[in-house]
Amino acid sequence: MLRTLKRYTFSLREAIESMIATICVLLPSLLVYIIKDRYEHVQGRISERVLRYGAYTLSTNALMLFVLYVGFGRYTQIFERLNESHRFACKYFALSVVFALVIALCDHMSLKRPTLRERFKSIIPYVCLFYVFVVLCVFMDRNVDSILDSDMASEMVRANLLSEGKAILSESWYYSTELRVLNTQLIFTPLFWLFNDWHTIRLVGSVLCWLVLLVSYYYLCRQLGLKKYFAVSAICLLLPLSCNYFSFTITGLYYIPHIAITFFTFGLLFQYSKCEGKYPKILLAVLCLLSIGAGMGGLRQLAILYIPLVLTDAVLFLSIRLKRMRPETRRTRRFFTASLVASLFSVAGYLINSCILSEIYTYRNWETIQYQDISLDSLMKVINGILSFFGFQTGDVFSFASISNIFCCFLLVLLAVILFRGIAVRHCSEEYYICSLFYLISIVVFALLYTVTSMSYNHRYNIPVLTFALPLVVLGLKESHWQVSCQKWVSGILAAGMVLCCGCNYLSYLDGSAYYNFSRNGAEYSTVADFLVSEGYKEGYATFWNANILTELSDGEIDVRDWGDSAEVRSIDQIYEWLQLKSHASTVPEGSVFVLLRTNQLEKIDFYPSLNEENIIYQSDAFIIYGYECYENLTADIEDGPVAEE
């Protein structure tokens, strides 16, 4: 009994720490509800409102605590990381939830309750969104090791490096084509301070990135007056409408920052154009910070968002002067001003990137791009990329590809009609006109960028541009003056088409016909990583697509130097300055070292014939791994091999 009593007693210092921890948990939600009360003008006595806010605050935080414990308990043992005072605070907090829930229930019962049909209609979209989100989480948990590649793993290796230095950028890393400032490392880096299991970090980080995407879209929907349609349309952001979108946005997470920045920027612009008082100054300050941070990442976000935004402002100005739109309004002037200010700050961020950050960090910029003659081949690549984004697939006519292609044609026709109405019809809203104009201009700018310059093109590059079609289509359908029956038919076709198209795309993943699929030896990579760790190998060499993936699958136990993947490997020390540590170029492995080769790349490895077969420690249809006690034995084997002797 004394032992049990001792567990629930605590010192004065622990009590103070518990109180501070509890206040830190409760204060944010309390402030949210106070602000909500100010906007919604909730009636009632002060005591009733305080009691109501306290109940909602406690219940909200209790739900969050429950989700953390149940959802991630098997991965993290979160309560073991809390000291005794914080654990006591959690116990006390959990006991008070019962009282809070009772008060919240009584408060809910006193309000005017909607009919069962209205409640059902309003909750079903959110249930579907939650279901899709959970299915996506389960999908990632079960299949992430199969769809993982070195591009995805490079983001994790970089985040681990940043977590060690407690920074958002690193001078010790070879970046790719852009400097990642406002990017996924802001989410993944802190997770390395909490968890040791890289699979858990990957899963939790992916969930947080999806939440950022949904929050940014919700914010935009609120400002466009589409809050009612948020849940049902947000489902589309999480579904595999196309293989490229699902691979590079949902599972790879590469373009979520770019899309979220676009959504947040337009949400801030529209909210700024409508706000009064001192809140516009705060919104403008946030918009400027977001713009300068986006510009510091490089030219990509400028090409996706800010250059089309400036051109939209120019067309908007001309349309007002030529009376092609409704007369100039205060909201239009404020949007025009705020978008120009945001664009200027993004240019300032880019100047910081090109003049200052480029001297500190190593990445490939766009300064070597040149103009070239317009070619039909480049234009057709852009057009095919647009078709691919909306679900178009190649294959047999009598196959699942036909379903996706028919739906793709329907989407393109619907989008064309919505664009035409938004630009040509004068009685549409300002938001509809601006979004339609921006989307059309962004596509034109994107097409020109890859048809009149020497930039290399890939179908996935259009994802951040074309994703803006979702809020535009929802806004266009809302403001359409079609008959109710016509709207229902269009909505029904969209829903049925999305289900069929996404089902077909999922099947294309399973049968290996997608660009990224489950047939990339994902399971064997895990086997190889486990084997190397069990044999005591910590460092090694491989080509790019076989390097960082081993680091992630081994929870950072294996450090792999990569030679790249496109060029011939002429030397064991031929380090590829792309998505790996800079120290790899100036150091050699210490202790035992391995060389991993893919069987379909042996002809690219010039020194492969020199490697002695006696040093093979692992061999399969896909891989050959050579093991050496030290780096000197590896180089001696290459120098003394049959090719070297000849």
Q: Which pLDDT belongs to residue 100?
A: 46
3-state helix, strand, coil in the chain (%, to 5): 70, 5, 25
What is the DSSP-derived secondary structure letter of residue 327? P
Lowest mean pLDDT among 14-28, 585-599, 628-642: 14-28
Distance, in Å, from the CA atom of 78 to the CA atom of 72, rounded to the nearest integer, reads: 8
Q: Which pLDDT belongs to residue 503?
A: 76
| Predicted confidence band of residue 3 (pLDDT cuts 50, 70, 90) | very low
Contacts (Cβ under 8 Å, ≥6 apart) of 25: 61, 93
Q: Which pLDDT belongs to residue 55?
A: 53
What is the DSSP-derived secondary structure letter of residue 172? T
What is the DSSP-derived secondary structure letter of residue 355? I
pLDDT over 50 at 309, yes or no: yes
pLDDT over 60 at 40, yes or no: no
Burial (CB count <10 Å: 0-12, 13-18, 19+), residue 362 = middle
| Predicted confidence band of residue 568 (pLDDT cuts 50, 70, 90) | confident
538: its two tokens:
């910590």
pLDDT over 80 at 485, yes or no: no
| Predicted confidence band of residue 145 (pLDDT cuts 50, 70, 90) | confident
Instruction: Point out which residues pair with 593 in neighbouring strands.
Output: 539, 628
Q: Which pLDDT belongs to residue 313?
A: 92
Q: Whole-number mean pLDDT of the chain?
A: 80
What is the DSSP-derived secondary structure letter of residue 325? S
pLDDT over 80 at 372, yes or no: yes
Q: Which pLDDT belongs to residue 511?
A: 58
What is the DSSP-derived secondary structure letter of residue 612? -
Q: Which pLDDT belongs to residue 530?
A: 93
pLDDT over 50 at 545, yes or no: yes
| Predicted confidence band of residue 78 (pLDDT cuts 50, 70, 90) | very low
pLDDT over 80 at 260, yes or no: yes
pLDDT over 80 at 644, yes or no: no
Q: Which pLDDT belongs to residue 187?
A: 95
pLDDT over 90 at 447, yes or no: yes
Burial (CB count <10 Å: 0-12, 13-18, 19+), residue 141 = middle
Region 150-171 average pLDDT? 93
Lowest mean pLDDT among 10-14, 169-173, 455-459, 634-638: 10-14
Region 358-380 average pLDDT? 84
Neighbours of 566 (CB within 10 A): 8
pLDDT over 50 at 79, yes or no: no
pLDDT over 50 at 640, yes or no: yes
Lowest mean pLDDT among 15-29, 114-128, 215-229, 415-429: 15-29
pLDDT over 60 at 39, yes or no: no
